[in-house]
Chains A and B, each alone.
Chain A
Amino acid sequence: ETGVTQSPTHLIKTRGQQVTLRCSSQSGHNTVSWYQQALGQGPQFIFQYYREEENGRGNFPPRFSGLQFPNYSSELNVNALELDDSALYLCASSLEAGPLNEQFFGPGTRLTVL
């Protein structure tokens, strides 16, 4: 069984651009959550998708959006990039939603906004 993978590993964008980050969940995992980890901080919850529907959202503006696909892949899209969006973006998959379901994290995508 393969783990959670993310692509790309690193990415450099400029302010105002748009970016799409990708995540491949473990097979059979119906839930994917996305987190932003700024330097020196803990991961901050962006949103969660369960069976292709948004299932909870943190304090992030609407320019952060996501998609989850039936093949256990998902995307995080960020529009109108700002300098403060520079961070490590982590996705995590779990079998089902709910806190008792262990989340398995990918290695992250490091986004730098210049």
Chain B
Amino acid sequence: DQQVKQNSPSLSVQEGRISILNCDYTNSMFDYFLWYKKYPAEGPTFLISISSIKDKNEDGRFTVFLNKSAKHLSLHIVPSQPGDSAVYFCAAIYFGNEKLTFGTGTRLTIIP
């Protein structure tokens, strides 16, 4: 029962262009969504989050969009830089439940 899905296992983007990573969820109880970035041999690190009462949150080059009716969120990175090459996980949680549910990840490769 995969409640959080990332359907693209990998994505390659030219340096300087926009990277768009997508995530879908099935559980309508989720009310908080997060993106994590993971480099090899390191643990995931928090990148950006969004509450279900918002549809957009921006932090520097990173913007997360949430479409509740479609149960879809996306992470935009612009401009993409070589250091952005990593695996990106989206995750979801609902208040009152401590279980953070992760997607399967998307490996982003930025081509110089």
Contacts and interface: CB of A to CB of B under 8 A. Distances in A.
Given A42-B4, A42-B105, A90 B32 contact: no
B25 interface: no
B101 A45 contact: yes
Contact of A108 (B43, B98, B99, B101): B43
Contacts of B100: 33, 43, 45, 99, 103
B93 A90 contact: no
B102 A106 contact: no
A97 interface: yes
A92 B6 CA distance: 22
B9 to A, nearest CB: 8
A41 interface: yes
Contacts of A97: 98
Interface of B is mostly: loop
Contacts, number: 59
Contact of B102 (A42, A56, A98): A42
Contact of A92 (B4, B43, B94): B43
A106 B104 CA distance: 19
A1 to B, nearest CB: 15
A107 B41 contact: yes
A104 B32 CA distance: 17
Contacts of A35: 102
Interface in B53-96: 89, 91, 93-95
A79 interface: no
B42 A107 contact: yes
A58 B99 contact: yes
A90 B6 CA distance: 20
Contacts of A90: 43-44
Contacts of A45: 98-101
Given A42-B6, A43-B100, A99-B95, 9 more contacts: A35-B102, A41-B105, A42-B91, A43-B102, A45-B99, A56-B97, A92-B43, A104-B45, A107-B41
17 contacts: A4-B43, A33-B98, A33-B100, A42-B89, A42-B91, A42-B102, A45-B99, A48-B99, A56-B98, A92-B43, A97-B98, A99-B32, A99-B100, A100-B32, A104-B46, A107-B41, A107-B42
